[in-house]
Amino acid sequence: MRRAVGALLRKDLLVELRTKEAVPAMALFSISTFVVFHFGLDRSSLDGSLAAGVLWVTLLFAGVLGINRLFVAEVEQGGFDGFLLAPVDRTSLLVAKVLALLAFLVLVQLIAVPAFAFLLLGPSPWQALPELLAVLALADVGLAVIGTLVSAIAIRTRARDLIVPILLLPLLIPIVLAAAQATAPLLALDGAGPLPGRWLAFLAIYDGVFGLVAYAIFDFLLED
Partner 1 sequence: MTYGKGLRPLAALTALTLTAAFALVFFFAPLDADQGFVQKIFYVHVPIGIVALVGFMAGGVFAIQHLRTRDPRHDLRSYVAIHIAIVLALGTLVTGSIWAKASWGSWWVWQEPMLVSFLIVFLLYACYTPLRFSIEDRERQARYASVFAIVAGAFVPLNFAAVRMAEAYIHPRTFATTGGGLPGDMLLTFLVALAGIALLFVTLWKYEMASKNATFKLRALRRALAGDELTPARRSAAPTL
Residue closest to 167 by CA, chosen among 29, 74, 67: 67
| CB of 85 or CB of 159, closer to partner 1 | 159
Q: Are 121 and 45 in contact (CB under 8 A)?
A: yes
Ranges of beta strands (E only) in the chain are none
- Which is nearer to partner 1, 133 or 166 (by Cβ)? 166
Q: Give the integer Cα–Cα distance in Å for 92 and 3.
A: 9
In this complex, which beta carbon is closest to partner 1, that of residue 104 or of residue 206? 206
Nearest distance from C-beta of residue 139 to partner 1, angstroms: 13
CA nearest to 182, candidates 196, 168, 161: 196
Cα R_g (the chain), whole angstroms:
18
Q: Considering the complex, what minimum distance in angstroms separates the CB of residue 154 from partner 1? A: 8
Shortest Å distance, C-beta 62 to partner 1? 21
Four-residue CA torsion sign, 24, 7, 134, 176: positive
Query: Shortest distance, CB of residue 32 to partner 1, whole angstroms?
Result: 26
> Between 10 and 198, whose beta carbon lies closer to partner 1?
198
Cβ nearer to partner 1, comparing 35 with 213: 213
Binding residues (CB under 8 A) for partner 1: these are 149, 153-154, 156-159, 162-163, 166-167, 169-171, 173-174, 177-178, 181, 196, 198-199, 202, 205-206, 209-210, 213, 216-217, 220-221, 223-224
DSSP letters, 135-186, are: HHHHHHHHHHHHHHHHHHHHTTSTTHHHHHHHHHHHHHHHHHHHHHHHHGGG
The least distance separating partner 1 from the CB of residue 72, rounded to whole angstroms, comes to: 16
